[in-house]
Chain A
Amino acid sequence: QQQVKQSPQSLIVQKGGISIINCAYENTAFDYFPWYQQFPGKGPALLIAIRPDVSEKKEGRFTISFNKSAKQFSLHIMDSQPGDSATYFCAASGGTSGTYKYIFGTGTRLKVLA
Chain B
Amino acid sequence: ETGVTQTPRHLVMGMTNKKSLKCEQHLGHNAMYWYKQSAKKPLELMFVYNFKEQTENNSVPSRFSPECPNSSHLFLHLHTLQPEDSALYLCASSQERGLAGGIQRGANVLTFGAGSRLTVL
Asked if A42 is an interface residue, CB under 8 A from chain B, the answer is yes
Which residue on chain B has the smallest CB distance to residue A30?
A: B106
Task: Please judge, given known A-B contacts A99-B96, A99-B104, A99-B106, whether A44 and B114 are in contact too, CB under 8 Å.
Answer: no
Contact between A95 and B2, CB atoms less than 8 A apart: no
The yes or no answer to A62 lying at the interface (CB within 8 A) is no
CA distance A93 to B43 in the complex (A): 13
* Count of CB-CB pairs between chains A and B under 8 Å: 72
Residue on A nearest B98 in the bound complex, by CB: A99
Question: Contact: B109 with A43, CB < 8 Å?
Answer: no
Q: Tell me the smallest distance from the CB of A64 to a CB of chain B, in Å.
A: 15
Given contacts A43-B112, A44-B112, A101-B56, contact A93 B90 (CB under 8 A): no
Q: Chain A's interface: helix, strand, loop or mixed, by majority? A: loop
The answer, yes or no, to whether B42 is at the interface (CB within 8 Å) is yes
Min CB–CB distance B7 → chain A (angstroms): 13
Q: How large is the interface on A (under 10, 10 to 19, 20 to 34, 35 or more residues)?
A: 20 to 34
State the Cβ distance, B31 to closest chain A Cβ, in Å: 6
Q: B48 in the interface, Cβ–Cβ < 8 Å?
A: yes
- Contact partner of B45 (CB less than 8 A), chosen from A30, A41, A101, A105, is A101
- The answer to whether B41 and A106 have CB atoms under 8 Å apart is yes
